[in-house]
Amino acid sequence: MRGIPSLITDIRKKVFTEVARMAYAGKGYEGVDELPYKIVPGDRPLHRESVFLERAIAGERVRLAMGLSLRPADGRHLVSEGMDHAAIAQQYYEPPLINIIPYACHACPTNQYKVSNYCQNCLARSCEKVCPKDAISVRNNRSYIDLDKCIRCGKCAKACPYNAIVHLERPCAASCGMDAIGSDEHGRAVINQDKCVACGQCLVSCPFGAIVDKGQIFQVIQSILQGDQVIAIVAPAFIGQFSGQASPGKLVTAMKQLGFDRTVEVAIGADMCTIEEAKDFMEKVPAEQPYMATSCCPAWHAMIEKLYPSEFDKISMTLTPMVFTARLLKKHFPGCKVVFVGPCAAKKLEAIRETIRSDVDFVLTFEELMGMFEAKDIDWATIEESEGLNEGTAAGRYFAVSGGVAKAVTDLAQKEHPGLEIKTARAEGLRDCRKLMAMAKAGKYKGYLLEGMGCPGGCVAGPGTILPVEKAAKFVEKYSKEAAVASPDESPYRHVGESLD
């Protein structure tokens, strides 16, 4: 559903916009209890059975957008409850990051096979014949599946000549590569936070918009208003995200109007990451370890830590592009606040690690930043061009697309060592990432560089993006080709990374 405008995307934008407007008003969180009425105006529901339910859900969305936790539904609670604790610029996220609003969940059917009206009551009875558990019989001139007997093998669906048997699976659970989503006693989806790595794929897969991540829009604006030097670092996937009209030069102007001191592209951190990972790989593989996994994707990193702890030391110890860029700015502008802006939900959890908190102060997604643009009435058609973002290389910018990290690292290593062959393997989406790591653990990838991306398609497919994945990838490819230099070893920051690591 990502990239397809819908009522869900409209609601999310309204929430982010209203929270940003409230913050920019400079009166703290005064009026926060009125926001659900602005988001859901009138006296008639738009999409649910009750306007009161819609407002209750909007209230939870507002709280989560401000980094607060869900309220219990068994008592009377104001939207502003606990706001004193959260509505300050220094507030970090409190896990869990990804949340399911219980009364917004539709309790979708879990994994099961059902016979549709397309069943023709044929004589062949192929579905019945192939069922290994005798779970299929004929009732009312149509095949019927006894779900108590069914083992969900899918043989009946494959055997039906009319494709009359459908596989029903909860969209959020189907998208979760960690199998972290189950059901509560009412059949509503719940997240096993011990398994969750905050990739956010469930968030963009729920057709009812019941899954929401926490945000820091309010805190970022508070930091700007209190006079901090707030610097935005934008991930390469930004290109094309904002109505397709936000050129790098226009983005720089718009960010100034939001109150950011300056805007820097994270591609320069990707270049530093490439140099250090290439060096890491050449030194360690195979001399010290059989293979090396890239370090950039926090969901991939967390998946390995949770499911393959014995392989965790095979991940490159190189900093991620976000952290490299942030540390560079903290060095040049002591006391500044750094806001990472990107497509990723998992970056929000990466930023609150104890070793990184001092580097990255806030994380915003493109969706959340769009809410800030809406709050300040940014008009992309008329906004002036500033000097664009010109320091990232083609390789660094291409990190945003699946395969981009491995390509950058191998290209650089081969440039420095002509004739060297480096074998690579990659996976996108956590389910495939798990398969890749299982094979690596079994010794199938000796001498390889492994790239894992938690989102299918790479960073351009992150839950915080606005564009369809294919369109976003084309924008990034074009943007990469427009870079002034191609290789990280030509970057003005090529010797900086080691001092920041």
**99 φ/ψ angles, rounded to the nearest 5 degrees:** -130, 145
What is the chain's mean pLDDT, rounded? 94
Nearest Cα residue to 80 out of 209, 210, 218: 218
Task: Give the 3-state secondary structure of residue 144.
Answer: strand
CA dihedral 58, 59, 62, 63 (to 10 degrees): -140
- The three-state DSSP-derived secondary structure of 314-382 is HECCCCCHHHHHHHHHHHHCCCCEEEEEECCCHHHHHHCCCCCCCCCCEEEEHHHHHHHHHHCCCCCCC
- Specify whether the CB–CB gap between 341 and 238 falls below 8 A: yes
Cα separation, 48 vs 101, in Å, equals 14
Pairing state between β 230-234 and 211-213: unpaired
CA distances 159 to 52, 170, 210, Å, are 47, 23, 35
**453 φ/ψ angles, rounded to the nearest 5 degrees:** -125, 125
Cα separation, 439 vs 314, in Å, equals 14
Q: Say whether pLDDT at 205 is over 70.
A: yes
List, as one string, the DSSP characters of 250-271: HHHHHHHHHT-SEEEETHHHHH
What pLDDT score does 500 carry? 84
What pLDDT score does 91 carry? 63
More confident residue, 459 or 388: 459
Nearest Cα residue to 89 out of 188, 217, 269: 217
Please tell me the class of the 112-168 domain.
alpha beta
Percent of the chain with pLDDT over 70: 98
Task: Give the mean model confidence (pLDDT) for residues 306-321.
Answer: 96
CA distances 5 to 10, 13, 376, Å, are 7, 11, 22
CA distances 465 to 3, 105, 116, 234, Å, are 8, 23, 35, 13
Alpha carbons within 13 angstroms on the beta-carbon side of residue 162 total: 17
CA distances 397 to 210, 268, 270, Å, are 33, 8, 7
What pLDDT score does 30 carry? 92
pLDDT in tens, 144-173: 999 999 999 999 999 999 999 999 999 999
pLDDT band, very low/low/confident/very high, at 180 (cuts 50, 70, 90): very high
Task: Give the 3-state secondary structure of residue 111.
Answer: coil
Q: Say whether pLDDT at 87 is over 70.
A: no
List, as one string, the DSSP characters of 428-450: ESHHHHHHHHHHHHTTTTTTEEE
Q: Say whether pLDDT at 255 is over 80.
A: yes
- For residue 207 the two structure tokens come to 């057709």
pLDDT in tens, 15-65: 999 999 999 999 999 999 999 999 999 999 988 999 999 999 999 999 999
pLDDT in tens, 215-230: 999 999 999 999 999 9
pLDDT band, very low/low/confident/very high, at 76 (cuts 50, 70, 90): confident
pLDDT in tens, 441-483: 999 999 999 999 999 999 999 999 999 999 999 999 999 999 9
- What letter would DSSP give residue 78? -
What pLDDT score does 286 carry? 95
Q: Say whether pLDDT at 260 is over 70.
A: yes
Task: Give the 3-state secondary structure of residue 298.
Answer: helix
What pLDDT score does 244 carry? 78
Q: Could you tell me the residue ranges of all domains in the chain?
A: 1-87, 112-168, 219-487
pLDDT in tens, 322-370: 999 999 999 999 999 999 999 999 999 999 888 888 899 999 999 999 9
Q: Say whether pLDDT at 2 is over 70.
A: no
Element (H, E) at 272: helix 267-284
Cα separation, 58 vs 37, in Å, equals 9
- CATH architecture entry for 219-487: 3-Layer(aba) Sandwich (3.40)
- Specify whether the CB–CB gap between 428 and 402 falls below 8 A: yes
Percent of the chain with pLDDT over 90: 87
Q: Say whether pLDDT at 89 is over 70.
A: no
